[in-house]
Structure 1
Amino acid sequence: MQTFASIPGGPVTSTAHRVPTTATAPWSLHPDRALPADPVLRPLARELYATTRGLPIVSMHGHVEAALLADDAPFGNPAELFVTPDHYLVRMLVAQSTSPHGAPGVRGVQDLGVAPLASAPAGTATAETDPREIWRRFCAGWHLFRGTPTRYWTEHALVDVFEAHARPSAETADALYDHLVERLARPEFRPRALFERFGIEILATTDPAQSPLADHARLAADGWGDRVVPTFRPDPLLHVDRPGWAAQVAALGSAAGTEVVDYRTYLDALRSRRAAFVAAGARATDHGHLRADTTPLDAADATRILDAALRGTATPAEADAFSAHMLFQMAAMSAEDGLVMQLHPGVLRDHCDGVARAYGPDRGYDIPEQTEYVRALRPVLEAFGHHERFRMIAFTVDETSFSRELAPLAGVYPALRLGAPWWFLDTPDGMRRFREASTDTAGFYNTSGFVDDTRAFCSIPARHDLARRIDAGHLARLVAEHRLDLDEAIETAVDLAYHLPRASYPAPGR
C-alpha cells in the first residue's frame, strides 16, 4: 500500500504532483450527500429528507438586491455571478495567494475582480477586468474548497442549476466558462425564472433605512410585492462615530421628509422610515452591531450625545453607549410597529483596515469574536420579553453561546427566538452542533428556522437543501434512539423547513 510519505515528492508543494481533477464521467451530485453515514440512520434520514426537499423556500434574511429581480436582466458572465461578489470564495483564494498549491495569479482581492474604491490610497492595485481570467483563477483553486460549505453550495449551483458536466479545474476552466455563458443567455436562466424554478415562496432583501425602496415599488407594480419584501437595516445611522455618519443622517432626513437637527427629529425620522418599510411589505429589521449590548440611556444623556455627534465631537465611549441605547430604542419601536428585530452581533468587520480603505467592506476580512448575551440582552428582554407585539431573533457566530446563553434565554422568554447557524456556522458540522447544543433547552420550536443570509442568488436552494439534510440526519438519530416517533420527526422536519420561518417572520399586524 502506498503511504503519504511514499508519494513522489512528499507533501504537495506544487500543482505538478496533484491528481488531475478532470472527471472521467459526467459530474453529478450524490443523492445522499450530507446525510448520516451510519447504515441505521441513513434510511431514516432519507425518508425524513424526502418530506422536505420539495417544500417551498422561505428566505427571510439575505442580501440579494431587489434590483436583480426588478430588472430581471440576464446575469453577466460566470466571474460576475460566482466569483467576484462572493466573499466566502474570495477569502479562501486570497488566503492561499502565497502558497505554491494555491490559485495561480491570485495575490489579493483585486485579482478576483474586486475594484478599488475611488478614494483608495495611491498605489492601490487595479482590478483584473478579464472575466475569463478571473474564472480560470477560481477553477485552478477549486481544490482549496474541499470540505467547505462553499464547495457544497457552488457545486450544487453548477450541477443542479447550470447542468455543468465537469468539475472546475485548470484543465476544464475554459470549457466550463463557455458552457455557463451559453446557459446564462437563455431566458430560463434569468432571475425571475430561476426564482420560480428554485421554489422560493418569499425572499427578504436587506435595505438601508434611507432607501427609497424604488426597486421594491417596481416589483410590487409587477405583482411581486408579497414575494420580495424589504428589511430595515439602520446600522450606519446608529453608530455616531462611523465615517460618513453625518451624511447618512442627512440622507435619512431627506428620505423621511424632515431635517434631523436633534434627538427628537432623529427618532422621528427613523420611525417614519420604518413606517415606509412596513407599507412596502417589510417583516423585519436587521442589526449587525459588534456587541449585543442593549443598555438604555436616559433621555437627557441620549440627547446630549446625539447633539455632540451632530457637532462631530462625540467620544468613542459615548458612541458605544449610544449604539447600545439605540438597540433598545429599536426594540421599543418594534414593539410599536410589529417588525421582527433581528440581531446579528459578534463580528469584527473589516479586520484588515488596509483592504477596507482600498477595496471597501465585505471582502472576506470580517472575523467572529466571543460575544456575551445574558447581561447584554437583559434590558430589552426585561422590558419587552413578554410583550405581545415584540419579536426578536438572536443570531451568533460564537457557538459556545448556544447552550450556555442563547438557548436558555430563548427557552423562557416568549418574545425571543434563537436564530439559525449563521455565516461561519452554516456548515454541515456547524448545523449539527447547533441542534445538539440548543435543543436540550430551547427545543425546536423556540428557533427561527433556517435563513440563508446570502448575496449569491444561485446558492439559495443549495443552502436550504443542506439545512434540510442536516435536520433530517439529526431527527433520524432521535428516531433511532427512540426519543421521537417517526411521525413526530416528519412533522418536526416540515416545521423546521417551512412553518417555523413563516411563523417567525409574520407580517406586522398579524
Structure 2
Amino acid sequence: MPTPPTRPLTLNEDRLFPAEPSVRAVARRLYGEVAGLPIISPHGHTDPAWFATDDAFTDATSLLLAPDHYLYRMLYSQGVPMEALGVPSRRGVSAADPREAWRLFANHMHLFRGTPSAIWLDHVFAEVFGFDVALEAATADLYFDRIGERLATPAFRPRALFDRFNIELLATTESPTDELAYHKAIRESGWAKTSRGRVVTAYRPDPVVDPEHEDFWVSLEAFARLSGQDVSYWAGYLEAHRIRRRAFIAAGATSSDHGHPSAATADLAPADAEALYHRILDGVRSREDAELFRAQMLTEMARMSLDDGLVMQIHPGSFRNHNAQLFRAFGRDRGADIPQPTDYVRALKPLLDRYGGEPGLSVIVFTLDETAYSRELAPLAGHYPALKLGPAWWFHDSPEGMRRFREQTTETAGFYNTVGFNDDTRAFLSIPARHDVARRVDCGFLGRLVAEHRLTEDEAAEVAKDLAYNLPKRAYKLDA
C-alpha cells in the first residue's frame, strides 16, 4: 500500500484577517504597523530556570507537548492516557518514551483542527523550526529528529530564542515561598547585561492566602522562614507579605497575581479579620470562612499595592482541579480547570468602596465568564479609575474569544480601559505565535471600524500600536 503524500505546511499572510476584501486590505496595512513591535509579556508561567541556566531543551516532547495543558487536555478527552504523553506525575517523572509520545501526538493532530492550538503550533513549526510539511503520523519522526537536532545548537538555547523572539519583557510567576534564586542568577548573568529584554517575576500568593490550597500548611511554614516573621498571628502574617513583596520587587516584579475561585472581596474590621485568621489557623474553618479569608486578602493586597506600587491582577472564576482522579495522580494545572459563572458587581464592591477611586492603585480583572463582559466588567472599568480589563484569557485566548472581547467591551470601556494582550503561557515557543494572533485579530477589528467610518485609518493605526505595545507597558508600570 503506497504511503500517502505529506501535506504542505504554509502560513497564509492574510490569516485571521476579515474575509471581506476592503476590510482585509485595511487590516493588512494596520498589521504592517505592529507586526515587528517588541513583545511585552507581563504575565505568564514560563520557567525562569530556562533563562538562568540556558541549558539546551532536550527534545520535542519535553519542550512542546508535556508542558502544554492545551494539548494534552484535548488528547485526554479522546482517551489518550496522560502517562503516554510524557506528562510528569506528582513525583515529577514520566515513564513515557519521548519519541513514542511524539508519535502518539502526531497521530492525533487532526483533533486540533479549528482550535487556537493548531494556529500556535503551525506558527512554531513553520517560523521557529522551518518545517514546510505538516505534522502527522507520516512526518512524526522527521519532526522529532529535526527538532532535536535544532535544539542541540546554540541558536535554540533559551536565551538565544528569547532574543530572537524580540521579547522586551517576560514576567514569570512565583509563590511567596520561592527563594527567587533563578531570578537572581538571571540578573547576575552576562546575558542580562547584553540582552535587549529582561525577565522578571510576579507575586502569586495563592498558596498562603487560600486555606483550601493543598499546600497551604507547608507553604505557611516556608513563608515564615523566608520572611523571618511569626505568622501565627495576624500582624506578623501581613508583615510577612510586605517583606516578601519587597523581595519580589527587588527581583523586578511590577505586579501581583491572584487566582481565586471567585472575585469576592471583603473589608472586615481589623479585629474581625484577625479573628478570622485565627479560625483558619485553628483548623475549625468552614468553606464560607475560606472564601471570606480569600476575599479579605484581596483587599489587604490592594492596601499593600497602594504602598509598594504592585499592579494587582485578579484571575477568578475557575473550578480548579475538577478531575479529582487526575489531580491525585498528576497534581494541579493539568488541563482539568473548568470555567464557572462569576459575579463582579457585588463581589468587587467592598474593595472598590475602599480603593476604587485611588489613582495610585491599578487592578486588572480577567474573566472566564464571557457573559460578564458587557453586563459587568466593561461598565465597571468604564467608571472606576483603579480598574482595568485584562484581555481574553485562557479558554478565550483564541481568535473568536478576542473578537468577542473587543465587540462586547469597546463601546462601554473603550480601548484605553483595557491593557492590551498578555499570553499567560507555560509554552515558551508559543509566545510569538500568541502575540501575532492577538495583533492580527485586533487589526481585523480595527479594520472593520475604519471600513464603517467609525475610525480614521490613522486613528486605528495608533490604537493598534497601543494595544500591541504601549498599553501593556503602561498598565504594568514598565516605563520606569
TM-score, with length taken from structure 2:
0.96
Deviation, 1:296, is 2.1
Query: Tell me, what secondary structure is at the counterpart of 1:417?
Result: strand
Q: Is the 8 A contact 1:205 1:229 kept in 2?
A: yes
Matched, 1:117 2:117: no
- Within the candidate set 304, 324, 343, 1:372 is matched to 343
Partner residue, 1:77: 59
Q: Which moved more, 1:298-307 or 1:497-506?
A: 298-307
Any idea what the Cα deviations from partners look like across 1:204-232, whole Å, max 9, x if unmatched? 11010121111111111126387111100
Distance 2:291 2:350 in 1: 16
- Please tell me whether residue 495 in structure 1 is matched to residue 466 in structure 2: yes
Tell me if 1:253 matches 2:224. yes
Residue type at the aligned position of 1:456: A
Contact 2:39 2:469 in 1 (8 A): yes
Q: Which of 142, 146, 168 is the equivalent residue of 1:175?
A: 142
User: What is the Cα deviation at residue 310 of structure 1?
Assistant: 2.1
2-side partners of 1:243 and 1:171: how far apart? 43
Which residue pairs with 2:103 in the alignment?
Answer: 136
Q: Per-residue CA shift, 1:4-53, capped at 9, x if unaligned? A: xxxxxxxxxxxx9xx95722x4x221111111111111111100000000
Question: Superposition pairs for residues 462-473 of structure 1, below 5 Å?
Answer: 462-473=433-444
TM-superposition CA deviations, 1:359-390 (whole Å, max 9, x none):
11111100001110011111111211121211
- 2:316 maps to 345
Amino acid at match of 1:204: A
- 1:507 offset after TM fit, Å? 5.0
Aligned residue for 1:468, secondary structure, equals helix
2:397 counterpart residue number: 426
> Which SS does the other structure have where 1:323 is aligned?
helix
Structure 2 counterparts to residues 49-448 of structure 1, below 5 A: 49-97=31-79, 106=80, 108-118=81-91, 127-222=94-189, 224=192, 227-448=198-419
SS of the residue aligned with 2:203?
strand
1:273 and 1:21 map into 2 onto residues whose CA distance is: 57
Does residue 1:38 correspond to 2:20, yes or no?
Answer: yes
- Give 3-state SS (helix, strand or coil) of 1:58's partner: strand
Q: Percent identity?
A: 51
Find the aligned partners of 1:89 and 1:243 in 2 and give their Cα distance.
Answer: 25
Equivalent pair of 2:224/2:240 in contact (CA under 8 Å): yes
TM-score by length of 1: 0.91
Q: Please point out which of 455, 458, 480 is paired with 1:484.
A: 455
How far residue 144 of structure 1 moved from its aligned partner, in angstroms, is 0.4
CA distance in 1 between counterparts of 2:72 and 2:273 reads 40
Between the aligned partners of 1:115 and 1:231, the Cα distance in structure 2 is: 25
Q: CA deviation digits over 1:439-495, x for unaligned, max 9?
A: 000000000110000000000000000000000000000000000001001011001
Amino acid at match of 2:170: L
Q: Which runs of 5+ in 1 are unaligned?
A: 1-15, 98-105, 120-125
In terms of mean alpha carbon deviation, does 147-156 or 157-166 score higher? 157-166
Residue by residue over 1:39-95, the C-alpha shift from the partner in whole angstroms, topping out at 9 and shown as x without a partner, is 111111100000000000000010011111111111111000111110000010111
Deviation of 1:241 after TM superposition, in Å, equals 3.3
Give CA-to-partner distance per residue, 1:339-366, whole Å, 9 cap, x none.
0000000010111111101111111100
Q: CA deviation at 1:403?
A: 0.6
Partner of 2:370, secondary structure, is coil
Moved over 6 A (4+): none
CA RMSD of aligned residues (A): 1.7
Cα 1:320–1:21 shift into 2, 3 Å: farther
Give 1:128 shift. 4.0
Structure 2 Cα separation of the partners of residues 21 and 222 of structure 1:
48
Give the letter aligned to residue 305 of structure 1.
Answer: L
Deviation at 1:118, TM superposition (A): 4.1
> Does residue 455 of structure 1 match 2:437?
no
Q: CA deviation at 1:395?
A: 0.3
Three-state SS of the structure 1 residue aligned to 2:265 is: coil
Which position in structure 2 is the counterpart of 1:22?
A: 6
Contact 1:335 1:384 (8 Å CA) reproduced: no
Cα contact 2:302–2:361 (8 A) shared by 1: yes
